[in-house]
Amino acid sequence: MSYAIIKTGGKQFRAEPGKTLRIPTLLGDAGTQVEFNEVLLGSVGSTVKAGVPILKGASVTAEIVKHGRGEKIIVFKFRRRKNYAKKQGHRQGFTEVRINDIKLS
């Protein structure tokens, strides 16, 4: 089983061929191919390669499946005895990608 740890949007994700991931919003339409070059770690079978900090020449290709917005969270700010309360909702945008191929050099 091959997998790779990629970095995108300031976060790290474990990518495996055929899996779908929800990552921070990327530019592009559904069906567009994207390539992630910041591969931190890669594994093919029992061989594991770790980058310092990234693997040179390694890449992960994926296809954008859809764009969307996550679950709503409530942001509530409150100051006691000051007659201040503020309630706000937030939905974070995401892009769902399907991992196609992992190339380690």
Q: Is 90 exceeded by the pLDDT of residue 98?
A: yes
Q: Quote the mean pLDDT of the chain.
A: 96
For strand 33-36 and strand 59-69, is the pairing parallel, antiparallel, or unpaired? antiparallel
pLDDT at 96 (0 to 100): 98
CA distance 14 to 48: 14
pLDDT at 28 (0 to 100): 95
pLDDT at 105 (0 to 100): 79
Residues listed for the chain: 105
pLDDT at 52 (0 to 100): 92
